[in-house]
Amino acid sequence: MNDKVLIILSHTENLAKVREFIHQNALNAGFSEDKIMDITLAVDEAVTNIIKHSYSFDPNGEIKLEIEVNNGEFNIIITDKGKSFDPTSVPEPDIRKYQREHRVGGFGLYLMKKFMDEVIYTSIPNNYNRVKLKKKIH
């Protein structure tokens, strides 16, 4: 088993496993505990979005996480085979507006962008969705 790859089913129960996987790899890459928590949260948000939007909470979907470390950069590549979605169209959250509209979501992508250097979505309809999260190792 390659410890730089994790494949899980799309169930929220597996989020703890995802966090553990990211924690270990980010630690190996040399990040501080503080940064590790930021990266872990960003990946948790990405996987939660996939479970919710790509697989609509169907617990049988596959989610693959891969770690790449090169040129001083720590990359997490997350691939799923669920429905295509374009989260980059989500506007920045406005908490007062959210309250008026009784919205309870929409914070995830904002946190991902805040805590990572780059968040890149690719979607090939009827094939796969991929999100790449990048963070420089200082």
Q: For residue 87, which amino acid is it? A: P
The distance of closest approach from Cβ of residue 126 to another protein in the complex, given in angstroms and rounded to an integer, is 26
Interacting residue with another protein among 104, 125, 126, 138 (CB under 8 A): 104
- H or E element at residue 128: strand 128-136
CB nearer to another protein: pick between 51 and 76:
51
Q: Are the C-beta atoms of 108 and 90 separated by less than 8 Å? A: no
Q: For residue 127, which amino acid is it? A: N
Q: Is 101 exposed, middle or buried (0-12, 13-18, 19+ CB in 10 A)?
A: exposed
61 contacts another protein (rule: CB under 8 A):
no
The distance of closest approach from Cβ of residue 97 to another protein in the complex, given in angstroms and rounded to an integer, is 10
**Positions that interact with another protein (CB under 8 A):** 12-13, 15-16, 19, 34, 37, 41, 44-45, 48, 51-52, 93-96, 98-99, 102-108, 110-111, 114
